[in-house]
A and B are shown apart, each in its own frame.
Chain A
């Protein structure tokens, strides 16, 4: 008779199933993101705080604590106050314009029409094209001599050649120009956000509103908009954070000019801290973004949570 062997318990391989432990696998998965944030966001942030409290420049890289003197200098500078004001105008102007364009773009793209897929792909382009490339194109469109916009306005008889607007040379028009370009860049993102939101509204709710007597505008502003507000607010938080800290369009199109009319915080911080080498004042300028962004983000997130439905 063949004896059936007792099953000998194998020495447990201690680390064999280690990856199946939730805690271990989770930590491994999350580690790159945590490292990334710590090294590329956390460390530079702490360094910025450190620089802003010192008299550090690239010519005199010594650590001498000066307290809040840098911030005092910055706030007393009228050019900085102009920059702070510009940053708000630039951010909120382009966000509002982008949202309006995004909302109507989404409404257009919701209805089926021939070539809709093609148009949907096309609409994403401003977002996908490298910003440096797009800005060069826009620069030519706003050029004082070769502006295609002015050419069109003259051809239509709206303005004459002698009083054609100098888009990037007049303070208000320059601000309008950078806002338009930034809104142009942002609106595909807004369209995506709106499309996602609107398609998530149950058809029954829209039908009910129609039968209850709501026309197009009432359906849009009393039913759809409030229902998609949380998702739009998330998109807006992204838009505000990215625009508030952005310097690429200003840097590429106007260099903050004319006479500081389009200078924004990111650009001013870069100019002062890196180009001019006054790291401590540059850091102080950049840190002004923090409280503003913190307030905006916290307020928005609280709002979203309250509105969650």
Chain B
């Protein structure tokens, strides 16, 4: 197990930069999530770390060693692929044993380690099956067992849950996280799904167009986004952004509430009032999402509010009506003209 440090990694394909200078420090044992839209370069970055791609420039250190010119097998990292990349012609046992066999580990030790990894992931009963006889969730565990069996310096996961159905994904998320904590392996997890990122990561690196926009804990990313991209990429629905005074004002939909509710909540603290015209609303069971525009702002800037339905009856909020809404000042975020945060409040 080791820390993974990258210094100004750049990767260009022809003229197109896929990774545009990423410097990241993943300490030993951390669960780091790389979050970004598809095509942002996060998978390329992961492939550079494991050695499947060579960076155009920049340095990569694993466990303090410069590994720029080391082939994948010498780096000691393990990777789990989006579609798992299981060997279809091998049994589960041989799939898990493969990384050990390539290292020339004696047979007795291999079977011991395969046993250990399969016990850890609860797939002991599947060892003699082939990948095609397994369900999606089982395949995912086999891939994880194969990645972990040789106790890698770092574990790289490339959207490992995207092939699972929604229900399985939730439990698999828990499992991977618990499991990572138990083994304590440095983990870099690539995803475009912010729920996975928020729920699993010790820290999150938000990546856009080959660059890191912000690195921080999930709550830092959510509550104190470094720029408009992070603010609108994380959160569902995303943060409302409206132009004001040559800059931008941002606030989360769940903080944008009817004025009376805000008043009750904040007691003496300051809040900012808006006139909100409701265009339509969606009832989602645990919440009601209301879309509309603000008085005095550009009508193209659709603003969403996330309301607790138990407090706000449907009859109260009808399309076309104007309502007084408000946001606590502590929940307002200010962005400059360039999109970067200008101040904490």
Binding site for B on A (CB under 8 A): 202, 204-215, 218, 222-223, 226-227, 307, 309
Q: Are A213 and B82 in contact (CB under 8 A)?
A: no
Q: Is the CB of B102 within 8 A of A218?
A: yes
Whether the pair A205, B87 counts as a contact (CB closer than 8 A) is yes
Q: Are A215 and B73 in contact (CB under 8 A)?
A: yes
Closest chain A residue, CB of each to CB of B98: A212
CB distance B52 to A213 under 8 Å? Answer: no
What's the Cα separation between A209 and B71 when bound, in Å?
13
Is B52 a contact of A204 with CB atoms below 8 Å? no
Interface 0/1 of B84-121, CB less than 8 Å to A = 11111100000000110011000000000000000000
Q: Is the CB of A210 within 8 A of B81?
A: no
Instruction: Mark contacts of B37-65 with chain A using CB atoms, 8 A cut-off: 1 yes-contact digit, 0 otherwise.
Output: 00000000001001110000000000000
Contact with A along B196-239 (1 / 0, CB 8 A): 00000000000000000000000000000000000000000000
The listed residue with most B CB atoms (<10 A of its CB), out of A206, A211, A223, A309, is: A211
Q: Is the beta-carbon distance between B88 and A211 smaller than 8 angstroms? A: no
28 CB < 8 A contacts A-B: A202-B85, A204-B81, A204-B84, A205-B87, A205-B88, A207-B52, A207-B79, A208-B79, A208-B84, A208-B86, A211-B50, A211-B51, A211-B77, A211-B78, A212-B99, A212-B102, A212-B146, A213-B72, A213-B73, A213-B102, A213-B103, A214-B98, A215-B73, A218-B102, A223-B87, A226-B89, A227-B87, A309-B89
Task: Decide if B132 touches A309 in the complex (CB within 8 Å).
Answer: yes
Q: Which residues of A sit under 8 angstroms from B82, Cβ to Cβ? A: 204
Question: Which residues of B in the span 121-135 have a Cβ within 8 Å of any Cβ on A?
Answer: 130, 132
B199 CB, nearest partner CB in chain A, Å: 25
Task: Please give the number of chain B residues whose Cβ is less than 8 angstroms from any Cβ of chain A in the complex.
Answer: 26
A204 to chain B minimum Cβ distance, whole angstroms, is 4
* Closest 8 A/B residue pairs (Cβ): A208-B85, A204-B85, A213-B102, A213-B73, A212-B99, A309-B88, A204-B81, A226-B89
Given contacts A212-B146, A309-B89, 5 further A-B contacts (CB under 8 A): A208-B79, A208-B81, A208-B86, A213-B99, A227-B87
Q: Which chain B positions have C-beta within 8 A of A213?
A: 72-73, 99, 102-103
Residue of B nearest to A229 (CB): B89
Minimal beta-carbon separation of B78 from chain A (angstroms): 7
Is B51 within 8 A of A209, CB to CB?
no
Is B68 an interface residue when CB atoms closer than 8 A count as contact?
no
The answer to whether B88 touches A210, judged by C-beta atoms less than 8 angstroms apart, is no
Q: Is the interface of A mostly helix, strand, loop or mixed?
A: helix
Pick the contact of B72: A210, A222, A223 (CB < 8 A): A210
Q: Is B6 an interface residue (CB 8 A)?
A: no
CB-CB < 8 A to B72: which residues of A? Answer: 210-211, 213
Alpha-carbon distance between A223 and B95 when the two chains are bound, in angstroms: 11
Q: Are B73 and A214 in contact (CB under 8 A)?
A: yes
B294 to chain A, nearest CB (A): 47
For the complex, give the distance between the alpha carbons of A251 and B197 in Å.
71
Q: Closest approach, in angstroms, between the C-beta of B11 and any C-beta of chain A?
A: 16
Complex contacts, B52 vs chain A, CB 8 Å: 207, 210-211
Given contacts A211-B79, A212-B146, contact A205 B86 (CB under 8 A): yes
Q: Is B83 an interface residue (CB 8 A)?
A: yes
CB distance from B67 to the nearest CB of A (A): 13
| Across-interface contacts of A211 in B (CB, < 8 A) | 50-52, 72-73, 77-79
Which A residues touch B79, using CB under 8 A? 207-208, 211
Given the interface pairs A212-B99, A213-B73, A214-B102, the reply to whether A207 lies near B85 with Cβ below 8 Å is: yes
Q: Which residue of A lies closest to B47 (CB)?
A: A207
Chain B residues whose C-beta falls within 8 Å of the C-beta of A207 in the assembled complex = 47, 52, 79, 81, 85
Rounded to whole Å, the gap between the CB of A300 and the closest CB of chain B is: 17
* Of A212, A218, A307, most B-chain CB atoms within 10 Å: A212
Q: How far is the CB of B152 from chain A (nearest CB, A)?
A: 9
Expressed in whole angstroms, the minimum distance between the Cβ of A208 and any Cβ of chain B is: 3
Write the nearest CB–CB distance from A221 to chain B, whole angstroms. 12
- A161 CB, min distance to chain B CBs, angstroms: 51
